[in-house]
Amino acid sequence: MNDTSTFDDLRNRLVDEIITKRPLPAPIERALRTVRRDLHLPGLDPADAYTNRAVTIKDNPDGPLALSCASVPSTVAMMLAQLAPQPGDHILEVGAGTGYNAALLAELVGHEGKVTTVDIDPGVVLHARQALNRTGYEHVRVMEHDGLKGAPQHAPYTRMIATVGLWDVPASWWQQLADGGRLVLPLRWRGQARSVALTRQGDTLVSDGMELCGFVPIIGQTGERTTELADGTVRLHHDQDQPVGPDQLAEVLSTPPIELWSQARVGSEETFDGIWLRATASDDAVCRIEVTSKALDEGVRCPAIPGRSPALVSGSSLAYLIAERDNADPERPSRLGAAGYGPDGAALARTLIAHIAAWSADRAAAPHMTIHPAGTADVTLPEGHAIDKEDSRVVLSFAMART
């Protein structure tokens, strides 16, 4: 297939699909209709290049997650809308991928703007450089560089965007983002992730939006931990500051769970990840549980989503989100509850039910987030729930929440 009009039709059809579900600012829609994603994915059938899915460009020999991939186009569009690039902006992108996102950024900042994209993997850098040259974006700067260090030689930047998952905002980025500049990154905390849009206000990053997302994690950040239970068939994914370990939880799944049910119900296509997000704004026991098919076969109670459901852990006890379809309400056929294990399993399950109820009362609500440099004194932090990371302190609050 080499008919340019056919490529245009495929691309426009994809953009039409994206904007039907999420309207976009006109400049971003134009950029998506202009940049050819297929030329950043050579060898892939054009029909596949213009489907709304991620494409792996480099496998990871050491794990299930790819080392690099072309992100889902609708997620790309969503993050560009969060970033809101303007003509003349100076942008740093961390995670070069295929070069496609950098090409979109180049369209958005225009001839007066500058785009620098960095990646730690030389093969990914080469792929991005060749694709950008092939598509007419030779002026985009592509660097083989550790993204955790940014690119200080070309700072300051008016906008920065990460297309890899971050557990923390690296200390090196603070001085590279201009005051008043904007940062968009897929940030992980308490086992879940959101694409967070932030503006630098002096020594504080202030959020004005969060969107559900999932990205390959950046190389070099090790703040997340995995605790294996039941011979590795159940895994808890948690932050380094959370006292979760296999010793106290070794027997937690050995007895039947206590099940409690909330009044909240969800539709077949309705997301309930907001329960998780809501809980992280007040509860340090929150993490992620992953239950394999082997564990399910051996009798472990199925979480709401086996691979990624919110859980609460305290001492030798555990509770996690469960769902059950009963069709009592055709529009919302599934009810939500909690399964508790261990001596305090019932209490943890009741706490999780309270988180479900709080979410259900305002399902679109998202917490307000501020991020502060590590070492910021407690007395100077705003009101809210603080989570400490290596290079920063994150504060979440629903008192100042924006939806």
| Least-confidence region, from 65-69, 155-159, 252-256 | 65-69
Specify whether 191 is located in the same domain as 263: no
By the 8 A CB rule, do 106 and 140 touch? yes
Please state the rounded mean pLDDT for residues 301-323: 97
What 54-57 contacts at long range (C-beta under 8 Å, 24+ apart), as own/partner pairs, is 57/97, 57/98, 57/124, 57/127
Residue 185 within a domain: yes
Residue 383 within a domain: no
Residue 290 pLDDT > 80, yes or no? yes
Q: Residue 57 sits in a domain of what CATH number? A: 3.40.50.150
How long is the chain? 403
3-state secondary structure of 247: helix
Hey, what are 133's tokens?
């040259």
Give the β-pairing of 234-239 and 286-291: antiparallel
In this prediction, residue 403 has a pLDDT band, given cuts at 50, 70 and 90, of very low
Specify whether 294 is located in the same domain as 346: yes
Specify whether 254 is located in the same domain as 159: no
Question: What percent of the chain has pLDDT above 90?
Answer: 87
For residues 261 and 340, what is the distance between their CA atoms, to the nearest angstrom?
A: 11
Which of 163, 190, 212 corresponds to the end of one domain?
212
Q: Which residue in 179, 170, 176, 167 sits closest to 203, CA to CA?
A: 179
In this prediction, residue 235 has a pLDDT band, given cuts at 50, 70 and 90, of very high
Residue 394 within a domain: no
3-state secondary structure of 191: coil
| Residue 261: CB atoms within 10 Å | 15
Q: Which domain, by its residues, includes 75?
A: 4-212
Which of 181, 212, 243 corresponds to the end of one domain?
212
Q: What is the mean pLDDT of the chain?
A: 93
State residue 402's pLDDT score.
46
State residue 46's pLDDT score.
86
Residue 26 within a domain: yes
* Tens-digit pLDDT profile for residues 61-70: 555 554 557 8
| Least-confidence region, from 75-84, 179-188, 208-217, 303-312 | 208-217
* Tens-digit pLDDT profile for residues 11-32: 999 999 999 999 999 999 999 9
Q: Which residue in 222, 350, 207, 225 sits closest to 283, CA to CA?
A: 350
Residue 238 within a domain: yes
Please state the rounded mean pLDDT for residues 292-298: 96
State residue 56's pLDDT score.
77
C-alpha dist (Å) from residue 30 to 15, 82, 107, 110, 149 = 9, 16, 9, 13, 32
Please state the rounded mean pLDDT for residues 171-184: 96
Specify whether 241 is located in the same domain as 334: yes
Instruction: Tell me how many domains the chain contains.
Output: 2
Active site residues: 71
State residue 265's pLDDT score.
96
Residue 53 within a domain: yes
By the 8 A CB rule, do 338 and 260 touch? yes
Please state the rounded mean pLDDT for residues 393-402: 82
Which of 187, 212, 237 corresponds to the end of one domain?
212
For residues 365 and 279, what is the distance between their CA atoms, to the nearest angstrom?
A: 12
* Tens-digit pLDDT profile for residues 366-383: 999 999 999 999 999 999
Which pTM value belongs to this model?
0.92
Specify whether 24 is located in the same domain as 137: yes
Residue 163 within a domain: yes
Residue 5 pLDDT > 80, yes or no? no
For residues 58 and 98, what is the distance between their CA atoms, to the nearest angstrom?
A: 10
Specify whether 300 is located in the same domain as 160: no
State residue 68's pLDDT score.
59
* Tens-digit pLDDT profile for residues 87-128: 999 999 999 999 999 999 999 999 999 999 999 999 999 999
Specify whether 285 is located in the same domain as 142: no
By the 8 A CB rule, do 334 and 265 touch? yes
Please state the rounded mean pLDDT for residues 327-340: 93
Residue 305 pLDDT > 90, yes or no? yes
Residue 195 pLDDT > 70, yes or no? yes
By the 8 A CB rule, do 72 and 102 touch? no
Give the β-pairing of 114-119 and 90-94: parallel
State residue 57's pLDDT score.
66
